[in-house]
Amino acid sequence: MDKIVIRGGKKLKGEVVISGSKNSTLPILFASLLTDESVTITNVPSLADIDTTIEFLNFIGKKTLKKGNVVKTYSSCRYKHVAPYDLVRKMRASVLIMGPLLARLKKVDVSLPGGCTIGARPIDIHLDVFKKLGAEISVEGGYVKISAEKGLKGTAINFKFPSVGATENALLCSVLAKGKTTIINAAEEPEIEDLANVLNKMGAKVVVSGTKKITIEGVDKLHGFIHEVIPDRIEAATYMIAAAITKGEVTLKKVVPKHLKAVSDKLRKCGMSIKETKDTITAKWVKTLKPQNIKTEVYPGFPTDVQAQWMALMCLVKGKSKITENIFENRFMHVAELQRFGADIVTDGKTVNVNGIEKLSGAPVMVSDLRAGAALVLAGLATEGNTVVSRIYHLDRGYDMLEKKLKKIGANIKRAHS
């Protein structure tokens, strides 16, 4: 299995071009099922999760090809309505197959995704959407079977929590439902706005209010589209933290600074210089950093997908800080691995108390999930000595050309095959 080997202690300096957003591309790929016309998606990152989704679409019956950073889907033949375990288990976002297939075929059977290392991750909010829109749901043999023989009918849906995936599934089926659907307490992450823009290009009538209310006026038919995916704000945040943790200076190109406001604000409070233009951010270490507490929240709050990377930074900023995880129930798998570097951290329920110290020492560590992996790489970059990161297939799910981009800004990092 591949490993990443880092010889840390170098200040990172230079420019990084940020790739398209993984979490935006995935629902947009599933949206292609809503039309029989061809679709072109540009700025698509090269990641394992994207390949998995393309494989999934081809299996369902939608011919889909990726060449470089462009994905094209072709006018479809007939779709299958069953999504088997082998495809669903690889990626949780596979549940986004439910919305479009239910809208198009009036029935879909999807193998239950199960939990993962960051928590049980139920799909009750997704299923509630389908029920409210008039579908019947049963669970048989590990499959959730959803059917709406008489079609879907728009309605008012009030989410108990603004789930990103459930909001996407709600959009992906209500656009073809009869009448008006209103989602109250909807997620309004930038990736939701990107999906809404795509659906509107297809001829849907979606209005994202900016007040956690989304309205959808159902239409009969949707068209093909051409769309450039928004930049990956989580990848961008990771490189900003790489500048901070190595006392360097990194300019991110092709970003949307407002999507990163929560992270930029916290880095400024730590003492980093953060300068923005319309589509770049320069993060520069100018003085000794001060610790900052964070608590993860839905957008526009501090993203849970940057919590682990922030923890790595706080481990090396002298003084005490608190990190509270409010989105996922078990997203501290990186704590034990950061401790292997010598980090002084103690978990207390959904909060981690960090006592930042000046130096860590390189260590062999193991990745438990995507963003935990990013935290371990960051710690390795800032630590003198050798760090060997194993189980890096998690990183390949979400970081496009990680070693190449880090090498370009001065990191001593390589992939070893064993």
Catalytic residue (choose from 77, 116, 173, 315): 116
Distance between the two ends of the chain, CA-based, in angstroms? 6
* Nearer CB in complex with ligand UD1: 285/299: 299
**By CB under 6 A, is residue 56 in contact with ligand UD1?**
no
Could you tell me the CA-to-CA distances from 149 to 77, 103, 116, 136, 174 in Å, in that order? 21, 11, 33, 9, 15
- In the complex, minimum distance from the CB of residue 358 to ligand UD1, in angstroms, rounded to a whole number: 31
User: Would you say 122 or 179 has its CB closer to ligand UD1?
Assistant: 122
Among positions 61, 114, 119, 179, the unique one binding ligand UD1 when judged by CB under 6 A: 119
Nearer to ligand UD1, 29 or 365 (CB): 29
Listed in sequence order, the residues at least 6 apart from 227 whose beta carbon sits closer than 8 Å to its beta carbon are 28, 40, 41, 42, 197, 198, 201
Question: Bridge partners of 67?
Answer: 70
Distance CA 264, CA 281 (A): 9
Q: Is 52 in the site for ligand UD1 (CB under 6 A)?
A: no
In terms of CB distance, is 312 or 372 closer to ligand UD1? 372
C-alpha–C-alpha distance, residues 315 and 61, integer Å: 48
Tell me which DSSP letter residue 119 carries: B
- Going residue by residue from 3 to 32, which x/- string records binding to ligand UD1, judged by CB under 6 A? --------------------x--x------
Using the rule CB under 6 A, give the single segment among 160-168, 178-186, 279-287, 373-381 that binds ligand UD1: 160-168
Cβ density class 216-244: b for 16+ within 10 Å, e for less: bebbeebebbebebbbbbbbbbbbbbbbb
Distance (Å, rounded) from C-alpha 215 to C-alpha 95? Answer: 22
Q: How far is the CB of 191 from ligand UD1 (least distance, A)?
A: 6
Pairing of strands 180-184, 156-158: parallel
Q: Examine residue 113 and tell whether it contacts ligand UD1 (CB under 6 A).
A: no
By C-beta, is 66 or 121 nearer to ligand UD1? 121
Q: Rg (Cα) of the chain, in Å, rounded?
A: 21
Residue 267 neighbours by CB under 8 Å, 6+ apart = 240, 241, 244, 274, 283
Is 328 within 8 Å of 119 (Cβ atoms)?
A: yes
Helix axes 370-382 and 307-315, enclosed angle (nearest 10):
20
Mark whether 116 is an active-site residue.
yes
CB of 189 to ligand UD1, least distance (A): 6
Compute the distance between CA of residue 142 and CA of residue 109 in angstroms, rounded to an integer: 10
The smaller minimum CB distance to ligand UD1, of residues 124 and 279, is found at 124
Strands (E), 229-318: 249-253, 273-276, 280-284, 294-295
| 90 binds ligand UD1 per the rule CB under 6 A | no
> Closest CB to ligand UD1 among 122 and 300?
122
Residue 93 engages ligand UD1 in binding (rule: CB under 6 A): yes
Instruction: Determine, following the binding rule CB under 6 A, whether residue 125 of this chain makes contact with ligand UD1.
Output: yes
The correct pick among 121, 131, 178, 253 for binding ligand UD1 (CB under 6 A) is 121
- Binding flag, residue 393, ligand UD1 (CB under 6 A): no
Residues 1 and 390 sit within 8 Å (Cβ to Cβ): yes
Stretch that binds ligand UD1, among 122-130, 256-264, 343-351, 375-383 (CB under 6 A): 122-130
The contact mask relative to ligand UD1 for 301-340 (x = CB under 6 A, - = no) is: ---xx---------------------xx------------
Residue 93 or 382: the one with the smaller Cβ distance to ligand UD1 is 93
Q: Is residue 142 near ligand UD1 by the rule CB under 6 A?
A: no
Distance (Å, whole) CA 321 – CA 97: 40
- Tell me the site size for ligand UD1, rule CB under 6 A: 21
Contact call for residue 115 and ligand UD1 (CB under 6 A) = no
Is residue 161 a contact residue for ligand UD1 (CB under 6 A)?
A: yes
Quote the Cα angle for 11-6-287, to 5°.
20
List active site positions: 116
Residues engaged in binding ligand UD1 (CB under 6 A): 23, 26, 92-93, 119, 121-126, 161, 163-166, 191, 304-305, 327-328
